[in-house]
Homo-oligomer: A and B are copies of this chain.
Amino acid sequence: MSIKNPYKNFIAHIQRHVDLTEDDIDKILSRSHHKTYLKGQYIGQEGEIARTQTFILEGSARTFYLDSKGNEHIFAFGIDDWWVGDITSFTSQTPAEFNVQCLDKCHVVQITYENMEALYEEVPKMERYFRIIVGKAYGSVAKRIVRNHALSAKERYLNFMERYPNIVQRVPQYMIASYLGVTKEFLSSLRKQITQEQKS
């Protein structure tokens, strides 16, 4: 990522969905700010109101839920060019149910709630942009629900490795287990099975 123009990938991502004029871009940038988080830092936390939506320029993060027994359940990973944040909390400005934590150093672009609302007025195309990307996100989560029911843990793991090879390399196995909804021990035994099958 160029230090000169850290927003390049950010604007490019929006351009991929809607056409922006130079003026639109200026307005968007004037409502955005850049920030760097360190490994382990929280972008957002359960119980707090999500003040910003966050676009990851570089780095990785996880969104997870803490159940009543204190167990973590990873809902999603976010890497370069993804939006992260508790959307329900942000949109309705209510306490979040999800935690968003950086897995390594993250360069991000953020837009606060107030700026976002203003931006929707100034650049209505942003409504369209978010409608489209949230629609895509919804579609992929919908498929994930039925896949979780249709496939075994092993199939889900193989599927995940195929779809997100870059994530598999960057995050520890126990987090992938959490994302898939299995224990780290069970995932470990699945991995053993898989390597043994490959040998034969």
Indicate whether A65 reaches chain B with its CB closer than 8 angstroms.
yes
Within 8 A of B (CB), among A41-90: 64-65, 67-68, 71, 73, 75-76, 86-88
| B134 adjacent to A75 (CB under 8 Å) | no
| B136 adjacent to A65 (CB under 8 Å) | no
* With A131-B134, A135-B87 as contacts: A148 and B181 at CB distance below 8 Å: yes
- For A, the interface residue count at a CB cutoff of 8 angstroms equals 40
* With A71-B150, A127-B124, A150-B71 as contacts: A134 and B145 at CB distance below 8 Å: no
A65 to B148, CA, bound (A): 12
A151 to B124, CA, bound (A): 41
Indicate whether A192 reaches chain B with its CB closer than 8 angstroms.
no
Instruction: Report A's interface with B, CB cutoff 8 A.
Output: 64-65, 67-68, 71, 73, 75-76, 86-88, 91, 97-98, 120, 124, 127-128, 130-132, 134-146, 148-151, 178, 181
